[in-house]
Every structure is written in C-alpha cells, then in structure tokens.
Structure 1
Amino acid sequence: MLTTRDFAANHQRLIDAASALFFRDGINATGIAAVAEFAGVSKMTLYAHFTSKDELIVAFLDKRNERWEAAVQQTLGSGGTPATQLLDLFDLHRQWLREGGWRGCPYVNSAAEFPDRSHPVRLAVDRHKRGMKQHLLDLAEAAGLANPRTLVRRLFMLLEGAFLTGALEHDDSVFLIAKDLAAELIDAARSA
C-alpha cells in the first residue's frame, strides 16, 4: 500500500526528473516515458500524479516559481532600501542563471515551445513573469521613484536581456552591465 509520504516523494521525484530533462533536452523532445524512467517510477505511476504532459509541465513551472518566490523573499528580507533591493534582484538572477547550468530561463524556453498564449503552459509562464514585474513595481513604488511603471518595464527588459545573453554567451558578467544600467535608471527616476 502506497503511503502519503511515498506518494509525495514520487510526486517530487517526477517534478525533479521533468526539470532535469526539460532543461537538458527541451520540453517537446522529452517524452513521458523518459520522465518516468528518470524518476524511477512506472508510466502508470506518473499518470497517477499528472493526467497529461501539459499538467506535468505546469507543475514543473509552478514548483520552480515557488522556489523563485522563496529566493526573492530571502533576498528582499536581507535588508537595504527598496532602491538597493531592486539592484539585489539582478544579483539573484545572475545566481539563478549559473545554478541553472546556463540553460537560460525555463519560462522563456517554455514560451518558445508553446506559442499559443492561451495554453496552460503559457499561462504558467505569464504568472511567473507578472510576479517578477510586481516585485519590481512594489520596490519602485516603495522607493518613491518617478514613473514606476515605465521604470519597471525598463528594468524587466534589462533582467530578461541579461538572462538571455548570459545563457547564450555562457557569461554572467552581463548582469554587471545590466545592473550598472539599472542603477542609472534608478538614479534618474530618483531625481525626476
């Protein structure tokens, strides 16, 4: 008889396996059988947890987002002014690029494989990206910066561009450039 603990362990193993394979091989190139085998469970066990591959992909993205949100809260909880915390998010993105094995952003990668904006995978991507923008907006408003929505769009583009460029060039120093540009934008918004 499968216990609740075993069920939860299998569930996590499946998400971990999907994460590793989706990062390594791509989502569309990774079959359900490969995920089950990598997790050390049967296909039937996988389908007891996820009714479809799409559901597994969304679970992978949502679980990663939970980890991301925890990392953001830890970063923001370490102190500093809202303006410096905006810059701290550039350091956090840099760290996640390195820890992700230079494979880029799984949300951008997922969006590329699922172009239909109404698809559940794209909705999970959009939730994550909206959350990122909301953190930036909350900090920009708390810092009393001028035109916070415009500033957030610019900072978001810097973060996304640095993540993409860093992955393509296997060079996280692009975040230092992006962070310098962000500091200039923040200073300009401060004095506006």
Structure 2
Amino acid sequence: MTVDTATAQRQVLEAADALFYERGVQAVGMDAIRTASGVSLKRLYQLFSSKDELIEAYLKHRDELWNTMLAEHVDAAGEPRERILAAFDFLNDWFQQPDYRGCAFINSFGELGTVSPRVAELANEHKADFQRRLTELAEAADAPDPARLAEYLILLSEGAITRSAISRSAEPAQRAREAAGLLLDALLPA
C-alpha cells in the first residue's frame, strides 16, 4: 500500500523529531529515520532531498510546537503580570515531560551552529521570536522599558532551560519564575 505524500512526510518528520531530539542531529543518520518512519530511503529522499533539509523541517516543527504550548499557557492567564509569569509555568510543565532534553535549538546550534548557517539562523529566529513575545507581554503590563524587561526575562528563561536539561529537574523553572516575579515587582507600576 502506497502512503500519500502528506502522511509519509508526517511519518518522517515525527521519526526525525523523536530521534534528533533524543540523540542529537549529528548522531542520527537517514537510515535510522527510514527505519523509524517506515518510509523507504528512496521516498525519504524524495520528501527531503538532504539531511540538512530534514533538520530544517525538524526545527520549524519544534518552533511550531513551542509557540503553541507557550500560547496555551499565556492565553489561559488573566492579567498582564500573570501572562508574563505564565511563560515560566509553561517552562515548568515542559521540563516535566519525560522526553525533555533541553531546547532543540540550543542543542542543534551546539552541534551545527558553526558549520550550518541555516541552523544558526533558525536558532536566532526562534530566540528572537520568544524575546519579541516577552516584549509584547511586558508592553501589555505597562513596563516602563518593555524591551529591557524582556531581555531580563529571556535570560532567566534560557538559564532555566539549560539548567533543567543538565539537572533533569523542573526546579529551575520555579526559581526563574520566582526571580521573574521579583523583577516584575521592581519594574512594573504599582
């Protein structure tokens, strides 16, 4: 039975996502993706002409997942201050997922950032988008300098992401949320 293109693409991307995130992009070959996806190697290369193209699709997929999960948490919060803190609640929930291995963008950049301009570009775009979202949340909270507050918040977030991946604990998200609360107390109008 021949699988339609959209289904085959989804199978390959799901397999690549699981393997790349668990093992790293350099450690996983196209044969492993073929085996995990159940798609023939010929079909795999018809769908993604190179491993680089598949890595790019994987990172774009991770960006979509991240943005969806973040938006769910932020949109569920009420007042502007709580919407900012909801970003840290999202991190806490993410860190508790059994397959958590840190940030796919940081991991991929660490592996390929110096040799793959596209991976570096996608990582920068992802981080810039997160900072833009934090700036928008800070603006909605009437922060006197929303961009600066967002810089502080992103440093707390990125530190929590890295520390959690190393420690295999969600506690860094809780500490980062506490620190963000202190920042908001100091920087937002009363």
| Category of TM-score, reference length = shorter chain | over 0.9
Q: Does 1:176 align with 2:180?
A: no
Aligned pairs for 1:88-103 (under 5 A) are: 88-99=86-97, 101-103=99-101
- Mapped contact 1:111–1:122 kept (Cα < 8 A): yes
Matches of 1:147 and 1:177, distance apart in 2 = 23
Please tell me whether the aligned partners of residues 15 and 56 of structure 1 are also in contact (alpha carbons under 8 angstroms). yes
1:187 partner letter = D
| Distance (Å, rounded) in 2 between the aligned partners of 1:100 and 1:54 | 27
Name the Cα RMSD after superposition: 1.8
**1:139 CA displacement:** 0.4
Q: CA deviation at 1:93?
A: 1.4
Residue of 7, 15, 36 corresponding to 2:34: 36
Q: Tell me the residue number matched to 2:188.
A: 190
Q: Are 1:23 and 2:21 counterparts?
A: yes
Look up the SS of the partner of 1:139 in the other structure: helix
Q: Does 1:61 align with 2:59?
A: yes
Deviations 1:87-113 (A, max 9, x none): 000011121222262311111001101
Conserved 8 A contact 2:156-2:176 = yes
Displacement of 1:73: 2.3
TM-score (norm. length: structure 1): 0.92
Q: Is the 8 A contact 1:97 1:105 kept in 2?
A: no
Residue 151 of structure 2 is aligned to residue 160 of structure 1: no
| SS of equivalent residue, structure 2 residue 96 | helix
Corresponding residue for 1:9?
7
Structure 2: gaps (5+ residues): none
1:146, 1:190 within 8 Å by CA — same for their partners in 2? yes
How far, CA to CA, are the matches of 2:7 and 2:116 in structure 1? 31
TM-score (norm 2): 0.93
